[in-house]
Each structure stands twice: as structure tokens, then as C-alpha cells.
């Protein structure tokens, strides 16, 4: 099986798993992944994660120009911004409209610089700090500009009233990090107002050091 055929199948497999577990619904969300030659496969606009056709995924060149397939997601600016600013560490980008993350994005006491409190070690290890970005109309290229404004310092962001976007070294890593983000958002909402015991600063620093986590001040 060729690299591109295998990656097409992997994108559809992960997307179906995400859809079946209710992490995104309807025709929401998008995934992109980079081939070894720099070309990008991305899910088409208006497509459902539950019914993707590997042969109809959009193929883009290294500059995100259309090559073949169905028209790409209208939010490709989000994806291109991560590949541009985190080129050495980004092999895939996942964007969902997952419920708990979206709920967290609209609460007034959510920390815009680090939306997820340190509840679990894995939330820190897989995500670092997650930045809350303001609301943009879906498809607005300004979303990409907002990601570029972070200068590659964050692998995950949360769009207010919209949903999370996560970049990973490959497709599997990006999907797993996204799942960790949504699960941590769920835990955050479940424990809100209950005065939970969070990881201490020294415990966080130990994780950051041991697992080489990006953790800017």
C-alpha cells in the first residue's frame, strides 16, 4: 500500500471513530495530515466524519494549493497556520466541535492563557498550555492569523463558541491529544465549584521537565 493510500485510510478510520463516539457531529470538524513530500491531505468541506470516502479527500500542495479531490474544508487557514509556524513538529492537525471544550470556551472564569486546569498529568504531557482564542465566523481567514500570532508557541488552541484545534507530530498523536483535551475539559466542568485538588506547581514542573513539554510562561 502506498503512503498516500495508507494515510487516506487512516484519516477516515480516525474520523469515523471520533464521529461514532460523539466527539463531533453532523458535518462538523476537519482533519489534515502531511505526506513525507510535504503535500497535505485534508477532509473536504461539508463532509461528515462518519461517512468519509478516502478517494475524495482533498489533496493540496505544500503551499495549500488545490491538486485533486473534493473542495477542501473552509477552515484550511487554521491548518496552514499550524504547519507554517510549527513546521518541524506538525504532521497533522485536528479540529472538532466537541461539546465540553466548547462549553469551557464560553465560561467567564476560563483562563484565556491556559484554559485547562492541571487536573491530570496527561493533560499537561499531551497538550501543554491551551490558548483561548476569540470568536471568529467559521471560515474566516483571521483564525489562521490568530494562530500565527502565537508564533508557534502552542500546539493546541480553543476557539471561543467554536471548538478546539490541535497539532501533533503525526495523525495518531494529534487525535490522541485532541481526545485528551476534550476529556480534560469534561473533567473541568464536572469538578467546577467543588474546589478540586489540582497538581501542584512542583508536580507540573516535574512533568514539563521529564517529558519535554512546551510550557511557556
Contacts of 5 (CB under 8 A, 6+ apart): 54
Task: To the nearest 10°, report the CA torsion of 14, 32, 143, 162.
Answer: -10
Of 84, 122, 172, 214, which residue is the catalytic one?
Answer: 122
Catalytic (active site) residue 83: no
Neighbouring CB atoms inside 10 A of 161's CB total 11
In angstroms, rounded to a whole number, what is the distance separating the alpha carbons of residues 172 and 84? 20
Catalytic (active site) residue 75: yes
Per-residue cell: 10:
487512516
Of 3, 19, 75, 180, which residue is the catalytic one?
Answer: 75
Write the CA distances from 145 to 5, 151, 176, integer angstroms: 32, 10, 25
Angle between the N-to-C axes of helices 171-191 and 3-20, in degrees from 0 to 180, rounded to the nearest 10: 20
In angstroms, rounded to a whole number, what is the distance separating the alpha carbons of residues 4 and 13? 14
Per-residue cell: 211:
517529558
Q: Just list the catalytic residues.
A: 75, 122
Amino acid at each position: 500500500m502506498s503512503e498516500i493510500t495508507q494515510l487516506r485510510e487512516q484519516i477516515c478510520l480516525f474520523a469515523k471513530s471520533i464521529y461514532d463516539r460523539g466527539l463531533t457531529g453532523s458535518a462538523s470538524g476537519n482533519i489534515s495530515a502531511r505526506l513525507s513530500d510535504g503535500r497535505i491531505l485534508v477532509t473536504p468541506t461539508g463532509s461528515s466524519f462518519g461517512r468519509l470516502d478516502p478517494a475524495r479527500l482533498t489533496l493540496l500542495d505544500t503551499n495549500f494549493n488545490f491538486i485533486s479531490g473534493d473542495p477542501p474544508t473552509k477552515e484550511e487557514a487554521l491548518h496552514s497556520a499550524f504547519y507554517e509556524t510549527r513546521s518541524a513538529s506538525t504532521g497533522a492537525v485536528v479540529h472538532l466541535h466537541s461539546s465540553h471544550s466548547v462549553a469551557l470556551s464560553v465560561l467567564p472564569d476560563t483562563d484565556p492563557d491556559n484554559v485547562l486546569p492541571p487536573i491530570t498529568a496527561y493533560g499537561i504531557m499531551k497538550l501543554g498550555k491551551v490558548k483561548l482564542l476569540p470568536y471568529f465566523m467559521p471560515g474566516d481567514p483571521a483564525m489562521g492569523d490568530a494562530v500565527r500570532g502565537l508564533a508557534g508557541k502552542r500546539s493546541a488552541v480553543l476557539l471561543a463558541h467554536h471548538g478546539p484545534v490541535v497539532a501533533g507530530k503525526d495523525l495518531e498523536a494529534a487525535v490522541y491529544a485532541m481526545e485528551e483535551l476534550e476529556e480534560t475539559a469534561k473533567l473541568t466542568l464536572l469538578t467546577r465549584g467543588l474546589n478540586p485538588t489540582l497538581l501542584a506547581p512542583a508536580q507540573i514542573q516535574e512533568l514539563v521537565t521529564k517529558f519535554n513539554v512546551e510550557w511557556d510562561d
